[in-house]
A and B are shown apart, each in its own frame.
Chain A
Amino acid sequence: MDCLTGQTMKFAIALFSPPHSPSSRRALRFAQAALSSGHEIVRLFFYQDGVHSASSSVVSNQDELDVAAQWRELLTTHQLDGVVCIAAALRRGVLNAEEAERYARNAASLEAPWELSGLGQLHEASQMADRLVCFGGN
């Protein structure tokens, strides 16, 4: 066994589902629990519909969990590396200021602490981490 319970682990977390899906809430709770248990999160990678959780344009009902806001808070508080797949984000209209200017779009909806980058960042994260945990589907 390369792992004993109680040991500090490095996690990479990948999220594939939109902010209103149950699995994105599970990813958030898992990330919070991992940090509370003293583990490290080397990178969060948001892919496919998961990119919407990084958007600053998402508005939640007041009586509902604001997943996007909680991710932002988690990233900021713990200074986590949050990477959003650039190809997945652009085709869904999630652009940062630089991309909005490049493609002459009238609004940007992705801000720091999030970064747009390529799928290679997910591969690298899986190499850096002891465990890659993916969340998606339902």
Chain B
Amino acid sequence: MATLHVLSHSPFTDSRLSSCLRIIGPDDGVLLCGDAVYALQQDSALQQTLERMPDSIGMYALQEDLQARNIDAGKRANAIDYPEFVELSCRFAKVNSWL
């Protein structure tokens, strides 16, 4: 049962993302939106952690939130739009929002 984990809080102000990464399954995915896209800030410790995640874990970020914060998705993450967000939520068996 692969799960898409949706995060929207900045990883620099709380521990949702680190908790998520601790329990994430091998075929799960991570979608960063809102302030959570700051996890992809270049050369940050978190970005390096994300890059070291196994290839089987899909890494996604909402394009409009990246753009609003002038952050590059980098090599590891895929920038997606809303239709792709919908498609991802179909592809994964569950969508878990870290509210």
Which of the four size classes fits the interface of chain B?
Answer: 20 to 34
Contact of A138 among B9, B62, B93 (CB under 8 A): B9
B41 CB to nearest chain A CB (Å): 16
Q: Report if A37-B97 is in contact (Cβ < 8 Å); known contacts: A26-B33, A138-B8.
A: no
Chain B residues with CB below 8 A from A20, complex form: none
Give bound CA distance, A9 to B87, whole Å: 10
Contact of A136 among B35, B62, B99 (CB under 8 A): B99
CB contacts under 8 Å to A, within B74-99, are: 81-83, 85-87, 89-91, 93-95, 97-99
- A113 proximal to B (CB < 8 A): no
Chain B residues with CB below 8 A from A137, complex form: 8-9, 34, 97-99
State the interface size on chain A (CB cutoff 8 A).
28
- Residue picked from A5, A7, A23, most chain B C-beta under 10 Å: A23
Q: Which of chain A's residues has its CB closest to B84's CB? A: A33
Chain B residues at the A interface, C-beta cutoff of 8 Å: 6, 8-10, 33-35, 62, 81-83, 85-87, 89-91, 93-95, 97-99
